[in-house]
Amino acid sequence: MEFFRIKADIPFMRHALVLNAISVALFVAAVAFLAVRGLHFSIEFTGGTVMEVAYPQAADLTKIRDTVGGLKFDEVQVQNFGTSRDVMIRLSIEKGVTSAQQSETVMAALKAVDPAVELRRVEFVGPQVGKELATDGALALLMVIIGIMIYLAFRFEWKFSVAAIIANLHDVIIILGFFAAFQWEFSLSVLAAVLAVLGYSVNESVVIFDRIRETFRNKRKMDTVQVIDHAITSTISRTMITHGSTLMMVLAMLFFGGPTLHYFALALAIGICFGIYSSVFVAAAIAMWLGVKREDLIKPVKKKEGAEAELP
């Protein structure tokens, strides 16, 4: 079996301009969604109480809403979680009432209506913890970006490190854009997924950059555009297979991992798809716009005078 039977180098870079325009459009859309709708942060970031309760039969959401609503808490959200029998209740932080009292009152009220209800999970996060998590998350993102840029600049060249980071931040922003557009819950594990995608899709760019460098070295007659096209063409089959494999794993998580892993897997799946796209079309193209040259990657070997003279 061989999926990719490519006769000649595919001129990826010919369409670079169009594809970059699409990227810019997607990026702008994502930023717009983030700005207008914002992320639907989980209580890990905002603080508050989340309760997960399970019923032996399909839960009657309206009744639960009425019951919990009757308790006069500021802000209550009741929704299904995973299956029709599982219900998630979110309560906002209230001054003067501890989370313990909150969750117990709610549970007592639910038990009064239907004694078969089972408490699966309670999570309470105080406001100061939420703030810290948000800061830590932003800091982690920053450190990942700086670390990767330094490494790439050291291993390749600054143009590549800039290109890779722009391309992959574009992925991250687009994932966040999806979460904002559909108002999916952005939790700590989604943050972990986003950061993992950042590392993963840089890894993709690195493979292509590696090939670009090698091609520059071996095929002296090609110009920069040809070199990039050749490098992408020769790695495309690996790109597709690797991402296909990772995607299989992520889809397995999405379908079998249950509700807790749902958004985590979703973020990864989106990230992997855009990771392929951005490495192939965005990272290399940006490197091209930045004007990579053969000399950037292959340091001209300075001939030592006299070294040759010693040879017989």
Partner 1 sequence: MNRYPIWKYVVIALAIAFGLIYTLPNFFGESPAVQVSSAKATVKIDTAVLGRVEQALTAAQVAHTGVQLEGTSIRVRLKDTDTQLKTKDVLARALNPDASDPVYVVALNLLSASPQWLTSLHALPMYLGLDLRGGVHFLLQVDMKAALAKRVDATVGEVRGLLREKNVRHAGIVRNGNAVEVRFREEAAAERARGLITDANADLQVVEGPAEGGERRLVVTLKPAAERTLLDNSVTQNITTLNNRINELGVSEPVIARQGADRIVVQLPGVQDTARAKDILGRTATLEARLVDLSAEGQSAITSQGPVPFGSELFRQGRGAPVVLKKEPIFTGEQLTSAAATFDENQRAAVAISLNDPAGRRLREVSRENIKKPMAVVLFERGRGEVLTVATIQSELGSRFQITGMDSPQASNDLALLLRAGALAAPMEIIEERTIGPSLGADNIRQGFNSTLYGFIAIAAFMIAYYLVVGFISTVALAVNLLLLVALLSLLQATLTLPGIAAIALTLGMAIDANVLINERIREELRNGATPQAAIATGYERAWGTILDSNITTLIAGVALLAFGSGAVRGFAVVHCLGILTSMFSAVVVSRGLVNLWYGRRKKLTSISIGQVWKPKGA
Applying the rule CB under 8 A, the residues between 68 and 127 that interact with partner 1 are 98-100, 103-104, 118-126
Closest distance to partner 1 from the beta carbon of 152 (Å): 7
Q: Does 139 bind partner 1 (CB under 8 A)?
A: yes
| Contact by Cβ (8 Å): 269, 175 | no
**Which positions from 145 through 204 interact with partner 1, judged by CB under 8 A?**
147-148, 151-152, 155, 187-189, 191-192, 195-196, 198-200, 202-204
**Which positions from 8 through 27 interact with partner 1, judged by CB under 8 A?**
8
Q: Distance of CA 27 to CAs 41, 176, 183, Å?
A: 21, 10, 17
Residue with smaller CB distance to partner 1, 38 or 244: 244
Residue with smaller CB distance to partner 1, 33 or 264: 264
Q: Distance of CA 84 to CAs 42, 184, 261, Å?
A: 21, 18, 17
Residue 277 and residue 70: Cα distance in Å, rounded? 50
Binding residue (CB under 8 A) for partner 1 from 258, 293, 295, 298: 258
Collapsed DSSP state (helix, strand, coil) of residue 304: coil
Provide the CA 109 distance to its chain's centre, in angstroms: 40
Binding residue (CB under 8 A) for partner 1 from 20, 105, 226, 246: 246
Residue 160 and residue 166: Cα distance in Å, rounded? 10
Residue with smaller CB distance to partner 1, 1 or 307: 1
**Which positions from 273 through 302 interact with partner 1, judged by CB under 8 A?**
none
Q: Distance of CA 194 to CAs 13, 56, 130, 243, 275, Å?
A: 28, 35, 18, 16, 11
Binding residue (CB under 8 A) for partner 1 from 264, 274, 277, 281: 264
Sign of CA dihedral 223, 228, 229, 233: positive
Site size for partner 1 (CB under 8 A): 82
Phi, psi at residue 250, to the nearest 5°?
-65, -40
**Which positions from 26 through 45 interact with partner 1, judged by CB under 8 A?**
44
Question: Which class for 8: exposed (0-12), middle (13-18), buried (19 or more C-beta within 10 A)?
Answer: exposed
Residue with smaller CB distance to partner 1, 61 or 241: 241
Residue with smaller CB distance to partner 1, 22 or 140: 140
**Which positions from 200 through 229 interact with partner 1, judged by CB under 8 A?**
200, 202-204, 206-207, 210-211, 214
